[in-house]
Structures are given as structure tokens and as C-alpha cells.
Chain A
Amino acid sequence: MDLSKLPKLTFWRALLVVILATGFYSTLLRFAKGLGAATALSDKFPWGLWIGFDVLCGVGLAAGGFTLAAVVYIFHLKRFHPIVRPAILTAFLGYAMVAVALLFDLGRPYRIWHPLVMWNPRSVMFEVAWCVMLYLTVLALEFSPIVFERFRLEKPLRIIKAITIPLVIAGVLLSTLHQSSLGSLYLIVPSKLHPLWYSPWLPVFFYVSAIGVGLAMVIFESNLSARAFGREIELPLLAQLAKAMVVVLAFYGVIRLQDLAGRGALHYLREPSTESVLFGLEVFLGIFLPVAMLVWRRVRESREGLFAAAVLVIAGFLLNRLNVSITGMEASSGTHYFPRWTEVSVTLSLVGAGFLVFALAVRYLGVFEPHVHTKTTEKAVTGGSAPVEVV
């Protein structure tokens, strides 16, 4: 590996090693001594960082996968094809992170398969469990062609290619259900979640904001990959994504405020409280500011402008999920929750592992196809005709 081309990499590597080492310690602690020893969770606050960040945010940040798959394969906007693969990879890693985080968070993780055979269709958590399992399978299949290409496995590649459209449709439907169901989880706590966030429209908010942040993630990671791997950024494409993002975010902002007004909850914004400040930050940083920035063509078509707006959208999204799952629940719980360092280290390790796998995949698999490996792939798979049009 040529380190001289990647001067920052040694620092990031050192950081990653430290994070993974502390995460390893926390993992041992969690499984040997239980949740009480490794987390700040309590009877009054049973869900913390691992649900609020790892699960709620992990799933949301993965939304770029189904959004772009739909854009390219259902709407046939083929010009977006070059960025589908990194989006699918991010989605797959995001969901893998969610699955691993659940193993940490469940009191008895070895029973994670129970929803397969013990059904309760009245439970949103049951729906969530099935969506995670099915969509993780769909994502693995959607990502598999990249692996098949690498090892020149023609037959499985042809099978996947044949079922691409049903696969993409299944992926979009499962994502729709899953993204919204994470919001539905909180429909059951009308008397516990702060009125700034509790709304019968939570599933819709979660779904729409996931599409917005999914687009932001594609912009964000295209930019990072461009810097880390010297890949030229697909700027005109990203500018178009940003345009779509503005529409989604503006719609999201309008329905959020409309809902507050409709429920007569606007007055909570005028009362100075932690909740009103955080709600304001979430809406201003995550919706208003990026929309105001991106309506300007000059911002939209500049690398820095796009990147800054994407970061804002992601930050606002994270704040929203943490507000719903943690801040908004604190007042009614009668206690204060702040994650223990062991919880944080597990979360950081999962994110770090995600970055690591992404970097390895970019280096060793054709994630940013078709430019790099086009020739070999074409010969191996289609005998030199058109480039393979699988996900």
C-alpha cells in the first residue's frame, strides 16, 4: 500500500486501533457482567445510546441504498448508476451495524431468532425484527454481484441479474416499512414522549427524513471517498441529488411544523427548555439551513457547499433521532440518562468497523465501477458486450 498518497491514513489507523481496543474491553464487560455493568441504562431509562444512535440512526443513514436503487432501477435514471454501488454498500454496512448493535443491546442476544417462530403481529418490534432480517438479506443479494464479479462467478451473477427488479422492489417496500416502523415504535408512548416530538405522524416523519438523509449520505460519502481514494467526485450527479434533497427536506419541514400547529403544540417552542432548544436546533440545522443553502445554484454546484449542506442534514437527522429516543423521553422518566463510556466505545467501534470495511471494499472490490475493472468484468461476465447492469 502506498502510504505517501494517503498522508492522513496513519493517524486514522491509530485512532481506529484505540477505538476498537476500548470497544473490545467494553464488549467483554457487557457480555460477562451484563447490561447494568456496561451501560447507564436503568429501570427508569431502559433504552439508551445503542437503540437511539446505533439502531435508529444506523437504519436512517442506510436509506440512500433503497432511494438510489429505486431511482436507477425503477425510474430508469441510469445516469445515477455510478453511485448506486457505494450507496448499497453503505446501506448494507449500516444494517449490519444495526444487527450487531442489537446483539449488544438485547438482554438475551442468543434469542434474537425468536421472532422467526414466536409471532406477535400486534407488535411494532415484531415488524422491525422481520424488516431487519429480510432487508439485510435483500441488501446482501443486491451487493453480491460486486463480490461475484471479483471472483468471476458467472452463474450466480446471471441469477442475480435476472431477479434485480423484484429484488429492488422488495428492498424499497421493506425499507418503507422499516424506516416508518422505527417511528411507529414511539406511537405507543403518547404520555411519555415530549409533545414536541410525539405525533401520530411519527412513522411518516421517520420515512420522509430517512429519504432526505439517505441522499445526504450519498453526497457525504462520495466526497469522503473522493478525498481518501482520489476518486473524482461525480459533481453534476450530486448536484441533482441535492436538488431532490431540497424538495424532500422542504416537504419534511412543512409537515413537521404543520403537525405542531395542528396539535396545538407550537407554544412549547416559546417556552425556554432543553426540549425547545434542541427542537429548534434540529429544525434549523437539519432542515432550514441546508435548504436555504442548496437553493443557490452556486452552493449546489460546489464541492464544499454540497458537503457542508450534507453534513448539516446528517447532523440534524441524528439530533432528531436522539431527541425522539432520549431527550424527549427524559422529562417523563424522572431521571437523567447520559451514556457510560463503555456504551460510547461500543458505538464508536461499530462505526469504525463500518468505515474500515467500506475502505477495504473500495480497495479490493469494484465498488466504484465501472471505470476501474471494466475490461476484466466485461470479458469475464458478458463476453465483452454491454457493461453488467446489475446492482
Chain B
Amino acid sequence: MSKAILVDTTRCIGCGACVGACKEANGLPQNEDKELTAETLNVVESHGGVFVRKFCMNCQDPTCASVCPVGALRKTAAGPVIYEADRCMGCRYCMMACPFSIPRYEWKLALPKVKKCTMCAARQAHGQQPACTEICPVQASIFGERDELLAEAEKRLRENPSGYIQHIYGKEEAGGTSVLYLSAVPFEALGFPANVPHDPLPMYTYRVLSKIPSVVTAGALLLGGIWWITNRREEVAKAEKDEE
């Protein structure tokens, strides 16, 4: 069982309370960033009058965690994908690889860190819910078990078929995410990438990485074998020459 957040964009009134609460919970400056930055890990966007907030999807099998060479990013059993800054060497492969292009970098600092929402992992550890869902005045964002939230989302789609696009964004995208979205307009119109594969992305590299041991073994045997043959051939040629 792991925790998740359900965002129903049809309920969001764009008040921005979640943005302020997020900044407070993460000790970030209260500014008016229009998109995600290293100082804004949760942002409310307006797409043709529809409000949608963007933050880390905290994937079930996170691409960022799989690509991190030093294991600085990690999926916890509770749900959040957390970041251990002390391990990070700053290769930014997580930023490159994230199918939702979420992680941000402190470009202005000489010693930068990666920044992204961690679903308030610290608050969750103390039995609290994330700051954003706690403050939401209209329950546009709710916090709970992923299974239960999925059931709730499906219930809403069923009860109001004309009010929603019949799709739960995040149910299957990138192998499933801990943040789920509902919408009345196509998700592409809200700025979500539509071409994200439904299998977990780490599979794409694992298919190749898993072949390394056999490539090395077969390669070593092949090269050693070729060397043995060519070497032997040369020795024989030399011996024959000496006999003459």
C-alpha cells in the first residue's frame, strides 16, 4: 500500500493556496513563479480557463531513481520519491530522463542541488498529509491510499461521464504514478505529454543493461579464442621456418 494524491482539475478554483503551503513546508521563498523552478516545486497553471497544478508525479517505478548513477533518488514504500542531496554529484540525468520533465536545478548556485516535490515525505513520516492537500479549500487535491483514490476517480468518471474525459492520467502513464489527474478537457490541452509510454521506462534501459554480463563473457571468450588461434598459427609458421 502506498500513498497518492488525486487532483480533480474540474474542482480547482485556482486560488493558489497549495502553492503557498508548499513553499512554506519546503522553506522556499514566496515568489510568483509562473512555472516550476528550483524555488517553486508546485505551480498552478491556467489553460484556457482550466486550472491545473503541476508537481512531481512521484512515479511507481520512477525513471529518475533508475537513472541516478549514485542512487540519490529513491522510491519509498510509503509512496514519495525522495532525494538524498549528499549523494548527488549533479549529472542531471534525472532531469533529462524524467518523462514529465519535472526535476529542477539550482543553476544560480556554485554548489547546486536537484529540486522537486517529494510529497512532503517528512510530514508523511509524522502522520501528516502533504501541505498542498491539507490546505486545499475545495478538495480539488485529496490525499490517500493509491488504490482508494483510483477507485474514487473511477467512481467520479462513472457518475459523471459527460463531465470528464474518460481517462485517469497517471493510472498507467510511465507504469503508473502516485499523482493522479482527472480532467474535463483532453490532458494534452493542459500541457501534459500525451506520448508517455505506459510501461515503466526503466525497462527500456534494463533490457540492454541486463545483457552486459553475457556480452562480457562471450566477448572475452571470443577475443581470447581468436588470439589463441592467430598466436598458434604464428608459432607454427615460425617453427616451420626454423626447421627449413
Contact = CB atoms under 8 A, between A and B. Distances in A.
A43 B108 contact: no
A354 interface: no
Interface in B81-129: 87-93, 95-97, 99, 101, 103-113
Interface stretch (A186-194, A252-260, A282-290): A186-194
A189 B209 contact: no
Given A108-B88, A114-B89, A123 B68 contact: yes
B186 interface: no
Given A34-B108, A125-B69, A127-B209, A107 B89 contact: yes
Interface residues of A, number: 58
Interface stretch (B6-14, B46-54, B196-204): B196-204
Contacts of A227: none
Given A46-B96, A184-B208, A184-B209, A125 B91 contact: yes
Contacts of A114: 69-70, 87, 89
Interface string A152-176: 0000000000000100010011001
Interface string B61-79: 0010011111110000000
Interface residues of B, number: 59
A224 to B, nearest CB: 31
Interface stretch (B24-32, B140-148, B157-165, B219-227): B219-227
A73 B227 contact: yes
B18 interface: no
B105 A125 contact: no
B215 A203 contact: no
A41 B90 CA distance: 13
Nearest to B113: A107
Nearest to A202: B208
Contacts of A32: 110
A179 to B, nearest CB: 12
B205 A124 contact: yes
A293 to B, nearest CB: 31
B201 A188 contact: yes
A115 B70 contact: yes
> Of residues A108, A109, A188, which shows the largest number of chain B Cβ atoms within 10 Å of its Cβ?
A188
B201 A70 contact: no
Contact of A177 (B91, B205, B212): B212
A189 B230 CA distance: 43
A41 B107 contact: yes
A106 interface: yes
A106 B205 contact: no
Contact of A106 (B67, B89, B95, B99): B89
B135 to A, nearest CB: 26
A359 interface: no
Given A31-B110, A76-B230, 18 more contacts: A34-B110, A35-B105, A36-B107, A43-B36, A43-B37, A47-B96, A107-B90, A107-B92, A109-B90, A114-B89, A118-B72, A120-B68, A123-B67, A124-B209, A169-B220, A188-B66, A188-B202, A192-B96
13 contacts: A34-B107, A35-B107, A107-B105, A108-B88, A109-B90, A111-B90, A112-B89, A118-B72, A165-B227, A176-B215, A184-B208, A187-B207, A200-B204
Interface of A: 31-37, 41-44, 46-47, 70, 73-76, 105-109, 111-112, 114-115, 118-129, 165, 169, 172-173, 176-177, 180, 184-185, 187-192, 200, 203, 332-333
